[in-house]
A = this chain, B = another copy of it.
């Protein structure tokens, strides 16, 4: 069962007020959940991209905790669109980043490959649609 309590954070390393922001991107090629309609497993990759909020409140997600959170979807029956929405909402709610993108890319069912993208906040033009 998806478990948002698994997620851990550490403070952004950008601590001086005039330092430029950083953009962080984590891609897992090992995501799996279950189709609620057929009961068959779905496989895909998940990309998280975000700019942490400014110090002192800004945080970054800790990699191992992110992996465990993703693993908690393993036996969950959930549609592509809902997975994407849920992960984006959870990470956005907990991290409160400047902006965030969450992209899932699925290996396909019935010969159709799918990509779902969710965004939060004011994503700069250069990152939109990626």
Contact = CB atoms under 8 A, between A and B. Distances in A.
Interface of A: 10, 12-14, 19-30, 32, 40-41, 43, 60, 63-64, 66-67, 71, 74-75, 79, 81-82, 84-85, 88-89, 107-121, 124-130
Given A71-B40, A125-B126, A13 B81 contact: yes
Contacts of A126: 125, 128-130
B63 A116 contact: no
A30 B20 contact: no
A22 B118 contact: yes
Nearest to A78: B13
Contacts of A32: 32, 41, 43
Contact of A25 (B28, B85, B116): B116
A63 B110 contact: yes
14 contacts: A10-B79, A25-B117, A27-B114, A29-B43, A40-B67, A41-B71, A43-B43, A43-B111, A67-B111, A109-B111, A124-B129, A125-B125, A126-B130, A127-B129
